Amino acid sequence: VEDVIEQADYLYGSGETEKLYRLLVQHKDSDDAELLWRLARSSRDLAQLGSTSAEEKRQLTYDSLEYAKKALEKNESNFAAHKWYGICLSDVGDYEGIKTKIGNAIVIKEHFQRAVELNPKDATTIHLIGIWCYSFAEMPWYQRKIAATLFATPPTSTFQEALRYFHMAEEADPNFYSKNLLFLGKTYLKLNNKKMALLWLSKAKEYPAQTEEDKQVQKEALELLNSI
């Protein structure tokens, strides 16, 4: 198992998404949580590729949730299993419609919070809680109505709360992720603080793009800077 994990981490670091998936999917019946959450992540990464067909994307999205769920069953105190379960559950919601997505929201946040309890230094999970807060702060009225029918007290949040998490993520690991810089800028814009928005959006725009996502972030940051 250790050899496979070492090989998997090397492939992940090298951006070998397809090779990594082929390596890990052979171990889908494993009882090892470390292997299983990595398989969940790699299935999701493969689903995100532009070259993956719509049908495969859907299948991989549902598979990734199954692997993450199995990882949690094998080891409830594995922080990464909680983190990826939350991420994969959110992805499945994109296929199941807004009602399911809102319905899953509380469970998703609980798993992210449990992941942070287990590993307070994981900046990505802290960032994800920030994204969760931002989404609920920005939620349109018709979605709020759906939320009100699903929960006795529907989940709510504020841009201030989102901002706090994005800053916490930055403190845990400065400059770790282009999207965290972008969302710091976007949140400051929502709070009408143009000076701070300019600062963070400029950082996002100048972030060295290594992935497809980084390129998207640069583009969005540039558009927002131009609009200010």
Q: What's residue 42's pLDDT?
A: 96
Q: What is the mean pLDDT of the chain?
A: 95
Q: Which domains does the chain have, with CATH numbers?
A: 1-177 (1.25.40.10), 178-227 (no CATH)
Q: What's residue 93's pLDDT?
A: 94
Prediction pTM value? 0.92
Distance CA 158, CA 198 (A): 21
Confidence of residue 194 (pLDDT cuts 50, 70, 90): very high
Distance CA 127, CA 130 (A): 5
216-224 LR contacts (CB < 8 Å, sep 24+): 217/178, 217/179, 217/181, 217/182, 218/178, 220/182, 221/181, 221/182, 221/185, 224/185, 224/186, 224/189, 224/197
Q: What's residue 154's pLDDT?
A: 87
Q: Which two tokens stand for residue 73?
A: 């069953």
Give CA separation, 56 vs 26, 59, 171, 176, 228, in Å.
18, 5, 37, 30, 40
Region for residue 175 given its phi and psi (left: phi exceeds 0; alpha: psi -120 to 50; beta: otherwise): left
Which amino acid, one-letter code, is at 36? L
- Residue from 111, 114, 106, 115 nearest 135 by CA: 106
Confidence of residue 67 (pLDDT cuts 50, 70, 90): very high
Proportion of the chain above pLDDT 70, given as a percent? 100
